[in-house]
Chain A
Amino acid sequence: MSRKARVIAFYLPQFHPIPENDEWWGKGFTEWTNTAKAKPLFPGHYQPHVPGDLGFYDLRVPETRVAQAEMAKEYGVEGFCYYHYWFGGKMLIERPFDEVLNSGIPDFPFCLCWANQTWTGIWHGAPDRVLIEQTYPGPEDDKRHFDYLLKAFHDERYMKIDGKPMFFVYRPRQLPDSKKTTDSWREIAQRSGLKDLYLVGVEYVPWNHADYGYDAQVAVRLLGSFRMNGTWKIRKYLRRLLGRPQDVYLYKDIYKHLLMPEAKAEDIHPAVFPNWDSTPRSGERGTVFHESSPDLFREHLRDVILQVSHKPYETRFIFVKSWNEWAEGNHLEPDLKFGKGYLEVLKEEIETNSR
Chain B
Amino acid sequence: MDRPIEISAIIPAYNREKTIARALDSVLAQEYAVAEIVVIDDGSRDGTRNVVERYGGVVRYVYQENGGVAAARNKGVSVARHPWIAFLDSDDYWLPDHLKRMADAISSTGEKAALYFSDIIPTDLGEDSYWNLCGFKIPGQHELRLDASDWSMMKRRPMVLETSVIRRESYVESGGIPEALVVSEDTFLFLKLCFLYPACAVSGFGAVVTSDCNESGRASQVDGSKRYECRKLLYKELLRFSGSMKEDHQREIRKGLVRAYLNAGKFFLRRKEFRPALANICGSMGLNPMVSAMLVVHMLGDYCSRKHSKEMLT
Contacts and interface: CB of A to CB of B under 8 A. Distances in A.
A264 B246 CA distance: 12
Nearest to B148: A264
Nearest to A304: B243
Nearest to B286: A230
Contacts of A261: 147, 149, 195, 243-246
Interface in A215-231: 229-230
A6 to B, nearest CB: 17
A230 B246 contact: no
Chain A: interface size category: 10 to 19
Interface in B89-126: 112, 114
Interface in A297-343: 303, 306-307, 309-310
Interface string A265-290: 10000000000000000000000000
A344 interface: no
B174 interface: yes
A261 B173 CA distance: 18
A310 B114 contact: yes
Contacts of B195: 261
Interface residues of B, number: 22
Given A230-B288, A261-B195, A264-B198, A310 B170 contact: yes
A108 interface: no
B197 A257 contact: no
B146 A303 contact: no
A310 B197 contact: yes
Contacts of A255: 243
A264 B146 contact: yes
B67 interface: no
B110 to A, nearest CB: 9
B244 A264 contact: yes
B197 A256 contact: no
Given A261-B195, A264-B196, A256 B243 contact: yes
Nearest to B195: A261
A303 B244 contact: yes
A264 B243 contact: no
Given A261-B147, A261-B244, A264-B146, A307 B288 contact: no
Interface of A: 229-230, 255-259, 261-262, 264-265, 303, 306-307, 309-310
6 contacts: A230-B290, A262-B147, A264-B197, A264-B244, A306-B173, A309-B173
Given A265-B146, A307-B244, 18 more contacts: A230-B289, A230-B290, A256-B243, A258-B243, A259-B243, A259-B244, A261-B147, A262-B147, A264-B146, A264-B147, A264-B196, A265-B147, A303-B241, A306-B174, A306-B196, A309-B170, A309-B197, A310-B198
